[in-house]
Amino acid sequence: MEDMSSIRLGTRASTLATTQSEMVAELLRSQGLDVDLATITTHGDTSTASLASMGGIGVFASAIRTALLEGSADIAVHSFKDLPTGRPLGLAIGAVPVREDPRDALVARDGLTLGELPQRASVGTGSPRRVAQLLAVRPDLTIVDIRGNVDTRLGRVKGLGHYAKDSGKEDLDAVVLAASGLARLGHSDVITELLDPSVVLPAPAQGALAVECRTADVHHGKLAKALARIDDHGTRLSATAERAVLSHLGAGCAAPIGALAHLTPTPGRSPDVLTLDVVVAAVNGSRTIREQVSVELPEEVEPALAAAHTLGVTAAEELLDDGAADVADLKASGSTR
């Protein structure tokens, strides 16, 4: 689509989704493009079931992808961690903007940290990955499965009911959320601890956004050029490696798997080094398997991305060699329900 007069950006209706979409829209508008947001309702928005029970994988993406393929939207902004690793024919990731902080954040009553929470403290999260790693370091915690938007989750914490108090739900001592979502909504001030990746490794591609479009529109035209300008190569490399772990394991975004890559530049000489940390943990916290792998990257863009993907495959193979399939039911966690 060479000269579309107005770009329709498909987005979920949640505050976080529209905020993230508006951020990307502004980046494109700054290049002279006319961008309008088009709200799309997804199965994940209408279901009251827990995210894990819905399979996690693709629950927020399918309706938006259908809109792209049918032409009722031209681009879409996804939280990259929520996007299935398989991509429908005809769609491409047109841009991966600069990543926000990928870490998980603890929001606790009275400013408490994870180590300071009392015995049997109630901690809310809907993520098996977070549950598994939290229980590995604090097996005494009482984990409460929660759903809802960011404000609703914050409102569950004792003393934070002014966000969105749900009178039918018990107060919690803490919740765990992605630091990136809190930052984008202007709620970083409620964070009581940014959880170190050595304690809780984030979800693959957490903190990154993916701008998806039709394949034909990523190769030519004004939109393609604009997307190329907001693409961050380092973020795309890291997300590629992290998501390759999920893909190779056949798991989904609800699996108890963490992955975080970081790029170490070598100014004045090459190659740069990409290092990837991964973890698979039993949901009850009884066992964790961690691996670290690294690779020297080629200078060219496409070979570097291929090397990043191979790094993720290597990490996944090392997890399997060390018994990951016995620690967590990877296939069940990756259900497409």
Contact criterion met (CB below 8 Å) for 157 and 176: no
- Is residue 36 flagged as an active site residue? no
Q: Any bridge partners for residue 78, and if so which?
A: 210
To which H or E segment does residue 273 belong? Answer: strand 273-281
Rounded to whole angstroms, the Cα distance separating 142 from 135 reads 9
Q: Which residue has the tokens 């029970």?
A: 53
3-state secondary structure of 326: helix
Q: Are strands 122-124 and 288-296 parallel, antiparallel or unpaired?
A: unpaired
Of these residues, 74, 82, 217, 277, which one is catalytic? 82
The 10 Å CB-count burial string (b at 16+, else e) for 151-164 is bbbbbbbeebeebe
Is residue 86 exposed (0-12), middle (13-18) or buried (19+ Cβ within 10 Å)? exposed
DSSP strands (E only) in 160-267? 174-178, 193-194, 209-214, 257-264
Q: Which residue has the tokens 């739900």?
A: 169
* Distance, CA of 196 to chain centre: 17
Contact criterion met (CB below 8 Å) for 331 and 248: no
Catalytic residues: 82
